[in-house]
Amino acid sequence: MFARNPSIICVSIYIFLSLLSVVTILGNLLVIISVIYFKQLHTPTNSLILSLAAADLLVGILVFPLSMAFSLSSCIYYEHVLCKIRRCLDITLSTCSILNLCCISIDRYYAVCKPLSYSIKINYNIVMIMILMSWGVPALIGIGVIIAGLNQGKCEERCFINIQIKSTTASVLSFYIPVIIMLGIYLKIFLVAQKQARSIQSTKSGARVSKMERKATKTLAIVLGVFLLCWTPFFVCNNISHFSSDPMPDPVIETLNWLTLSNSMLNPFIYAFFYSWFRSAFRIIISGKILQGDFTNSKLR
């Protein structure tokens, strides 16, 4: 009876989460259109940002609705097959985001620490290989989880969301190790950037280029920081629950799950806030100017 007469609170939560999904979709669409449309944004780094935005877009389109279904499963009944699809998408897209961030950190490392060899080490062919690996490996993992039957079991009254493989080993391999690697890379970048800032102050053009690279690295480091703030609590609590006799409270699980999903919504706002050229691109797209003429070669400031 309750399923046929959802409460006002349940409906309100659906509306709020639906708006969250819409903002996630529109924000990442702006990033994707900007990178594809404007030639000034056709860089290896932005290609990796485009790949990350595509993963976030799919989270908004696919994972958000299924998460709403299972988070509010007391409001309506869903079949077991949706539970498997939901978990497969979670594992695939979350791992994809992590690998994309790893690739971005590698790109930043060569841009700041080894600028003379950057164009050789990080060209479009290498970037395409990075992107293919960032999508191919997670897809294989997600499919493998389903085939191996790691997510078997019927959805009971509430089918709680488990974004990564439940075992601690899988969490270490898919989250903790990549994060430690990224933190190490960014620490190295910041140390090198400080040395560069002191050594090239006498060269105006060199200082300008270095400043741009450091700003890009700082922005992408903030993207990583926000990612950690959104994802770490879930993984920590998930691992703690494996060693605890008491299960994690349901509201905590649901809250941490939606915190992880909110990361896909926040990235476009970070780009818009820190990158002036993304802000310019967003304004041109939102105003509809790209429908009135050719702005592909516009100088974004």
0.85 exceeded by the pTM? no
Of 63, 107, 100, 292, the C-alpha closest to 213 is 107
Q: What's the distance, CA 268 to chain centroid? A: 10
Integer Cα distance of 231 and 115 in angstroms: 32
The string of DSSP codes covering 99-136 is HHHHHHHHHHHHHHH-GGGHHHHS-HHHHHHHHHHHHH
Integer Cα distance of 193 and 211 in angstroms: 9
Q: Which residue segments constitute the domains of the chain, with CATH numbers given? A: 8-288 (1.20.1070.10)
Q: What is the mean pLDDT of each run of 10 residues along the chain (301 residues)?
A: 58 84 93 92 90 92 82 52 73 85 88 86 91 90 66 47 52 80 85 71 56 68 84 82 69 79 86 80 88 82 72
Length of the chain: 301
Q: Which residues contact 233 (CB under 8 A, 6 or more apart)?
A: 256, 259
Tell me what pLDDT residue 168 has.
Answer: 65
Please list the alpha-helical segments (H only) found in 3-123.
8-37, 44-58, 64-71, 80-113, 118-121
Tell me what pLDDT residue 14 has.
Answer: 80
- Tokens describing residue 42: 């056709």
Other CB atoms within a 10 A radius of the CB of residue 89 amount to 18
Q: Tell me how many helices (H) and strands (E) the chain has.
A: 11, 0
